[in-house]
Structure 1
Amino acid sequence: MTTNTSLLERRKVLGTAYRLFYEQPVHLVRGEGVWLEDIDGKRYLDMYNNVPVVGHANPAVVQAMTQQASILNTHTRYLHENVVAYAEQLLALFPKELNRAVFTCTGSEANDLALRIAHEVTGRRGVIVTQNAYHGVTSLLADMSPSLRPVAEHVEVVPAPTSLQGSATEIASEFAAVVDAAAQRLAAKGVPVCALMVDTVFASDGLYLPSQGVLAAAAKVVRQHGGLFIADEVQGGFARVGGQWWAFQQDDVIPDMVTLGKPMGNGHPIGAVVVREQWLHDFGTRCRYFNTFGGNTVSAAVGLAVLHELHKLNATQHVQQVGNDLGQHLHALTTHELVQAVRGSGLYWSIALQGNDTHTASELAVLLVNGLRQEGILIGTCGQKNDALKIRPPLVFAKEHVSLFMEVLQQQLQQINAVN
């Protein structure tokens, strides 16, 4: 197996902020569907990358991108059919209350814009997030992403549902209570809450899916305090959870704003805020928003192609069916001594691990991720201590891939037990 030491050495020009996956980094050269290939020709089953929702190098998406790029690429200050058609088709996937779209280039930009809107329409600054949340890379978002660094003074952190105990009903009630307490703390500090921003699958917190009432309960409380509910669907959106287009639809709640990102373009950078008309009207009359590349004609063509491919796949039903099969196999692992819990829905799952006499749960996660990588399967980790396995393949993942994955995962669990 080739280890490109020269490339690793040259990579220092990128600086120390960058990180590589795996103890032995993977040097990828191409992808197709759910498969990735390294420089030696070894193929890997991709069970990590949620960006290429309709598969790596999807031909229809590539064709739409190159065809539009060869004709015209410009911004939203000119009329163009692609941009309007994309907004119309995107909004058709949402409840009627969410009837306006503003395009950005990334999920970070979308979250940043959603907070700007919330600040403007409420006249407030306070924000509530969960304990290990990650919402983006701008300075504003880093200040409210405790997984990156300590939060700012105007941000209150609450325990995620993954860390709460009891029945689903009890957890929803407790989550609402901690959001209520956080809103009271913000008011006491003189920065009343403008928004609760929640990743609707609680991915960074270890995955809490399905939501089982926690989103509706928390949204009700924050609105009672005069704040808005912003659903960050960068992770959970576009049929990822199965059965529905959006993770928030598993709950009896309609957000004030929904933010979208990575999967929109299957690798091409697109993001968006989908918002109730009243909030965008109030924002738009007081200030303006323009993004040179947000909603450009090429991005719109790509977005349309992705939607077409998702419909062609019958994504909501396909993901539900394959996800049910995957989930049955994963839940069977809960009898294993190293497995604490299995959480998930559709094609987004986590396996929370528990330590043994030799290794902590976090160390076990590293062993499993690297062992799977050696056997040609790519996954990641999540949770506050990176003690859970994160599984989220492209949505073109099928039942035959489930069998392959489970065989290798069970082998790795057995090997770790045998050694320890």
Structure 2
Amino acid sequence: MTDPYDDTLLERRRRLLGASYRLFYDEPFHPVRGDGVWLFDRHGAPHLDAYNNVACVGHCHPRVVEAIARQAATLNTHTRYLHETILDCAERLTESLPAPLAQMVFTCSGSEANDLALRMARTFTGGEGLIVTEFAYHGVTQAIAEASPSLGSRVRLGDAVRTVPSPVDCGDGEAAMGQRFAAGVQAAIDDLVAHGIRPAALLLDGVFSSDGIVTDPVEFLAPAVATIRRAGGLYIADEVQAGLGRTGTMWGFARHGVTADLVTLGKPLGNGHPVAGVVARRDVMDHFGEVARYFNTFGGNPVACAAALAVQEVMAEEDVIDNAARVGRYLHDCLDELARASERLGEVRGSGLLAGVDVLDAEGRPDAAGAQTLVDGLRRRRVLISATGPHGNVLKIRPPLVFAREHVDRLSDALAASLAGWATPR
């Protein structure tokens, strides 16, 4: 650290906050204001945010801020009272999703949404078994942390949780890729059954963001979804990162030509305000309502729903999804060009405004230290990204959906400059 004030703040943080908290970057970032794709430090220096998907329509979007302030100044209570905004928000969301998804329940976070979806699946199927990918992240509640291998080996998987190898595109087409992935799902089902555990659900992040980002070829998910349904389980589409236009389409799972039994949403729904939820088939919701009761004081309150409704209105009026598709193509073109010029960058994956770039060592192996070097180099150049993947070597680029071509250019220039310091050009 070179800023004495931030040094003091860092020491206060260590003293006051728990040890489980982590900071990004070797030089911690201290933002004090956000605007669109920019985060400003306390000296007023702008930093390009190419990572924070939660602020999906841009930091502090005035329409969303105004909707929150107006509703907070009028009424904020819970969902046990009638309120038009709650219904307007739910109606708009459910209408944007394909059948048979028909009803929703609001939560505060994606973790809560995934936890609730798992409860619903277990209640509906009578099973307990849950299948996730081998480096998945789905949240931090007890049940969902036990189904999030990316949290580390010290967070033990649940007794009824099985993992499936992450999907890998070997260049032999969607059919072969789909069959490989489905075979892994079937093996997990077989192992559950061998241990006397009935399968309940396959829970997948449709862009496999923690597994290194895998979005293509489209439609490879269909055999895996059919496999879990044949076993009596449900398919839960975790859309916390994949949904709301991130891939250049409204919903990530829909790109693959499959239907979901339950869909989970996270805080991008409120542009960072704590609102999330589960959308499900009506029969799944009805059955859960017959045997259980769910209530969340803050989940789906009028202020939260005002924020979520404003986000959906902004997305429609500002053509945010089309922007993600158009600018995303340019982003991937620029990253491909950088990868062709550097022996330290490998495959570029993703869709829309989501990209993963493999970082390799001189022998072509996954290079986590190199990825962190690039992440920190970009931070020093005032561009914010992160890294992901089982080996920690995948650059994760996931900006607000209002990113423009000039922002891609700035990101590309900063990445090229960071590469120049340590990588040998081809």
- TM-score computed with the length of structure 1 as normaliser: 0.97
The residue aligned with 1:245 is 250
| Cα drift, residue 332 of structure 1 | 2.1
The residue aligned with 1:111 is 114
- Matched residue SS, 2:335: helix
- Matched residue SS, 2:77: coil
- The one-character-per-residue Cα deviations of 1:212-242 (angstroms, maximum 9, x if unpaired) are 2232111100001100000000011100000
The residue aligned with 1:394 is 400
| Cα drift, residue 286 of structure 1 | 1.4
In 2: Cα distance, 1:166 partner to 1:291 partner? 47
In 1: Cα distance, 2:350 partner to 2:369 partner? 22
The residue aligned with 1:255 is 260
| Cα drift, residue 333 of structure 1 | 2.9
In 2: Cα distance, 1:138 partner to 1:177 partner? 29
In 1: Cα distance, 2:253 partner to 2:365 partner? 36
- Aligned residue type for 1:10: R
| Cα drift, residue 416 of structure 1 | 1.4
- Matched residue SS, 2:421: helix
| Cα drift, residue 360 of structure 1 | 5.9
- Matched residue SS, 2:197: coil
Match of 1:280 among 285, 291, 301: 285
The residue aligned with 1:325 is 330
State the number of aligned residues. Answer: 419
- In the alignment, does 2:411 pair up with 1:408? no
The answer on whether the counterparts of 2:55 and 2:400 sit within 8 Å (CA) in structure 1 is: yes
- Aligned residue type for 2:212: G
- Matched residue SS, 1:226: coil
- Matched residue SS, 1:9: helix
| Cα drift, residue 211 of structure 1 | 5.2
The answer on whether the counterparts of 1:161 and 1:208 sit within 8 Å (CA) in structure 2 is: yes
The residue aligned with 2:294 is 289
| Cα drift, residue 316 of structure 1 | 1.9
- The one-character-per-residue Cα deviations of 1:360-393 (angstroms, maximum 9, x if unpaired) are 6101101100000001100000101211100000
The residue aligned with 1:73 is 76
In 2: Cα distance, 1:187 partner to 1:225 partner? 10
The residue aligned with 1:122 is 125
Superposed, which structure 2 residues align to 1:203-222 within 5 Å? 203-210=209-216, 212-222=218-228
In 1: Cα distance, 2:98 partner to 2:140 partner? 29
Match of 2:41 among 34, 38, 58: 38
- In the alignment, does 2:239 pair up with 1:236? no
The answer on whether the counterparts of 2:169 and 2:177 sit within 8 Å (CA) in structure 1 is: no
- In the alignment, does 2:312 pair up with 1:310? no
The answer on whether the counterparts of 2:173 and 2:217 sit within 8 Å (CA) in structure 1 is: no
> Which ranges of structure 2 fall in alignment gaps of 5 or more residues?
none
The answer on whether the counterparts of 2:353 and 2:398 sit within 8 Å (CA) in structure 1 is: yes
In 2: Cα distance, 1:69 partner to 1:161 partner? 44
Question: Structure 1 residues 376 and 144 mapped into 2: Cα distance closer, same or farther (>3 Å)?
Answer: same
Residue identity over aligned pairs, in percent, reads: 46
- In the alignment, does 2:353 pair up with 1:347? yes
In 2: Cα distance, 1:269 partner to 1:51 partner? 10
> Which ranges of structure 1 fall in alignment gaps of 5 or more residues?
none
- TM-score computed with the length of structure 2 as normaliser: 0.95
In 1: Cα distance, 2:363 partner to 2:253 partner? 40
The residue aligned with 1:11 is 13
| Cα drift, residue 17 of structure 1 | 0.4
The answer on whether the counterparts of 2:169 and 2:217 sit within 8 Å (CA) in structure 1 is: no
| Cα drift, residue 169 of structure 1 | 2.4
| Alignment RMSD (CA, Å) | 1.7
In 1: Cα distance, 2:365 partner to 2:381 partner? 22
- In the alignment, does 2:383 pair up with 1:377? yes
In 2: Cα distance, 1:121 partner to 1:400 partner? 49
